[in-house]
Structure 1
Amino acid sequence: MPPHEWQKSSFSGEGAQCLHVAAPDSDTIKVCESDAPDVILTTSRANLKAFILGVKAGEFDHFVDG
């Protein structure tokens, strides 16, 4: 992985199917998957906050509920 301080959720366990998040500066958030570490999504803290609030509100549950 690139030289950022990556963090993953404790809910990910020890498997290879994890999302990693890094904040290389005060405005930028980077996200990658452990099985594709060279593919990095870059977004802003505001966009990530809006997404997290949507997740907490259940707006994306239909993506994981089968």
Structure 2
Amino acid sequence: MTDIAWEEPFCGEGNSCFRLGTDPQGNAYIAIAGAEDVHLTDSRDALRTMILDIKAGKADHLI
């Protein structure tokens, strides 16, 4: 199992709480807080861009 270091949850309005994490190899992960065993993985830059765009209001939810 990959050793993922999860950051504190980012919670928007309502019940939307997500966590970002990284592993020792530099891969990035995103998961719903509380369900980290089911996650998406991509490059750190791709996930960072997605989160910054969401925070900037370019999207109101994750698909």
TM tier relative to shorter chain:
0.5 to 0.7
Amino acid in the other structure paired with 1:39: V
Question: Are residue 46 (structure 1) and residue 45 (structure 2) matched?
Answer: yes
Question: Is this contact kept in 2: 1:8–1:18, CA < 8 A?
Answer: no
Distance in 1 between the 2:26 and 2:46 partners?
10
| TM-score, length basis structure 2 | 0.58
| TM-score, length basis structure 1 | 0.57
Cα-Cα RMSD: 2.9
Runs of 4+ in structure 1 deviating by more than 6 angstroms, as ranges, are: none
Higher helix share: 1
Gaps of 5+ in 2: none
Q: Percent identity?
A: 29
